[in-house]
């Protein structure tokens, strides 16, 4: 995790900011931002697997802010909030995601996100539902 924090500290602003007239720069910019977000999500997954929801939360909040349609980040943020005994806030985050996906894209959240929301709502063990979210992502971190 320390290496992620070091890399995050080196990242300043938007790649190639101010260069707008080169199509290849735009593609590279988008690619670098996506790569950064994938790294941040993988680090958040590692923190969640290590029961460090409090440390994962700010990383996940930044990801959700930068891409509000990113289901994995939003679901992991809800799980982190729930693990910090913030059930109402976790449900609110998932509700915002559900409405945004429905209103903007005409789709519903993935089954894993729906399962997590139901588990949090019923106060059943969301850590088990959350494992469905963490498992596929662990391949990004080499597990």
Torsion of CA 29, 34, 36, 40, to 10 degrees: 160
The percentage of the chain sitting over the pLDDT mark of 70, rounded to a whole number, equals 69
> What local confidence, expressed as pLDDT, does residue 58 receive?
83
Highest mean pLDDT among 11-15, 81-85, 97-101: 97-101
Residues with Cβ within 8 Å of residue 104, at least 6 apart in sequence: 69
Nearest-10 crossing angle of helices 53-66, 23-49: 160
pTM of the model: 0.71
**Does the pLDDT of residue 85 top 70, yes or no?**
yes
Residue 109 has pLDDT above 90, yes or no: yes
- On the question of pLDDT at 139 being above 50, the answer is no
Instruction: Specify the 3-state DSSP secondary structure of 115.
Output: helix
Judge whether residue 123 has pLDDT over 90: no
Query: How many angstroms separate the CA atoms of 135 and 143, rounded?
Result: 9
Residue with the larger pLDDT of the pair 101 and 67:
101
Q: Phi first, then psi: what are they for 109, rounded to 5°?
A: -60, 160
Closest CA to 111 of 91, 133, 92: 133
Cβ-contact 78, 120 below 8 angstroms: yes
Report how far residue 126's alpha carbon sits from residue 86's, in angstroms, rounded to the nearest whole number. 13
Give the highest mean pLDDT range of 33-42, 54-63, 126-135: 54-63
């Amino acid at each position: 995790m320390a290496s992620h924090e070091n890399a995050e500290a080196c990242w300043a602003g938007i790649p190639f900011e101010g260069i707008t007239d080169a199509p290849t720069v735009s593609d590279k910019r988008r690619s670098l931002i996506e790569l950064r977000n994938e790294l941040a999500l993988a680090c958040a997954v590692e923190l969640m697997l290590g029961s460090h929801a409090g440390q994962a939360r700010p990383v996940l909040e930044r990801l959700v802010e930068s891409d509000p349609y990113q289901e994995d980040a939003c679901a992991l943020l809800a799980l982190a909030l729930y693990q910090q005994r913030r059930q109402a806030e976790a449900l609110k985050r998932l509700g915002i995601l559900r409405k945004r996906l429905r209103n903007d894209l005409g789709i519903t959240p993935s089954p894993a996100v729906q399962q997590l929301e139901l588990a949090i709502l019923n106060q059943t063990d969301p850590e088990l539902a959350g494992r469905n979210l963490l498992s596929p992502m662990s391949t990004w971190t080499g597990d």
